[in-house]
Amino acid sequence: MDIHLQQKEARELQPTDIFFQTPFWSAVKSYLGWDSLAYDLTFSGPQGDILILTKSLMPGISAAYVPQGPEFSPEPEQYGPFLEGLSDAIGRRLDSSVAFIRYDLPWESPYAEPPTEALEKDQGFRRPEARLQELRMNFGTAEWKLRKAVTDLTFVDRVVVDLNGSEVEILSRMKSKTRYNIRLAKKKGVDVFYGSPMELPAFYDLYRQTAQRNRFHACEYRHFSALFAALSSRPDFCEIFFLLARHERNLLAGAIMAISRKTAIYLFGASSNENRNLMGPYAVHWEAMRLAKSRGCVRYDLGAVSPSKDPDHPYFGLYRFKMGFGGRILHQTGTWDFPLDEDGYELFRKHEMIDGLIEPS
């Protein structure tokens, strides 16, 4: 596959709807110890660019990480050959200590149904086991090196809400209970306002409560502070909004939302274990949607959910809550590795299965 890369500065990355492929995200990750590489990418006609992050993870072992990229993809049957060709091209430009390239792919899962059918079949969506996914991904490759990562780093199954139409139309697409809870929050006097970085510690306390309640991994506080540090030093095409909901003096919920071009993405959210009858999270998300629409966005990405209506899945609570806002689930291809140094990669993989050495993007 004919793939060409031309290096450039991360600040020269083109505007994109994928927040994690922006100069802003490069700046955020620099505060978290990652180095950035950026390339113009050309293959078989399509042109774009790609942000790659690198970091030492263990003594003598570094990784290259492509967060939610590359944006442009081939047809599903060419996913594997394309990634092999791209990995060979990237690998020639990396330091010898880089043991593997990790792709957190934004591409639609080859196991997903067409959108019109998926609306009816999300309850039954299942991915094959990793071994079978690897067989399909490597079909047509020369070396059969692509490996399914131990875990998916970001939102492999996500809810996206259509913001086209009036506010009345957006509300009409929601479930009746969600509409009721939005109105109930307003009736009870819940106030949604813009937070400041000074209020991050209080938000983080609620975030940890939420992580424990919904059984997901909580990011460290430095991930939140890095967002606002980058915002002050790297204003560009992206915007960050910090929304909080309160009732009288009680903080109920909050959300950190990013906007890149026409897409708003819900990065972090939190809600208190107390006063849940006031419906603070519903008020926050409705205000976030209204704000995103006012900024010209056409979609609101609510992030991770379980891939189907599965009560045993750790994200099932998120599924029940987020699906009420009238979006649909996008099933993505997930996180894949391409080893450059087989021995170094296998050593890292053994440690990752125990310790989880790469944090989510």
Domains and CATH numbers, the chain: 3-154+333-355 (3.40.630.30), 164-297 (3.40.630.30)
- The 10s digit of each residue's pLDDT in 99-131 is 999 999 999 999 987 654 444 444 568 899 999
Nearest to 320 by CA among 332, 308, 334: 308
Q: Is the alpha carbon torsion for 146, 150, 152, 156 positive or negative?
A: positive
Report the percent of the chain where pLDDT is more than 90. 78
State the alpha helices, DSSP H only, in 54-157.
79-91, 115-121, 130-138
Q: Which residues are within 8 A (CB) of 215 and not within 5 positions of it... i.e. 6 or more apart?
A: 314, 315, 317
What is the per-residue pLDDT for 360? 54
pLDDT higher than 50, residue 239: yes
**What is the rounded CA–CA span in Å between residue 72 and residue 76?**
12
- Strand boundaries in 140-208, DSSP class E: 147-148, 157-162, 191-194
What is the Cα–Cα distance from 297 to 290, expressed in whole angstroms?
10
Give the span between the Cα atoms of 300 and 259, in whole angstroms. Answer: 9
Rg of the chain, C-alpha, whole Å: 21
pLDDT band of 218, cuts 50, 70, 90: confident
In contact, 2 and 40? CB cutoff 8 Å? no
What's the pLDDT band for 73 if we cut at 50, 70, 90? confident
Whether the model clears a pTM of 0.75, i.e. scores above it, the answer is yes
Angstrom CA distances, 194 to 198, 242, 244, stand at 12, 6, 6
pLDDT, one tens digit per residue, over 28-60 is: 999 999 999 999 999 876 789 999 999 999 899
* Residue 235: per-residue pLDDT: 61
Report, as an integer, the average pLDDT of 280-295.
98
Q: What is the pLDDT of residue 119?
A: 47
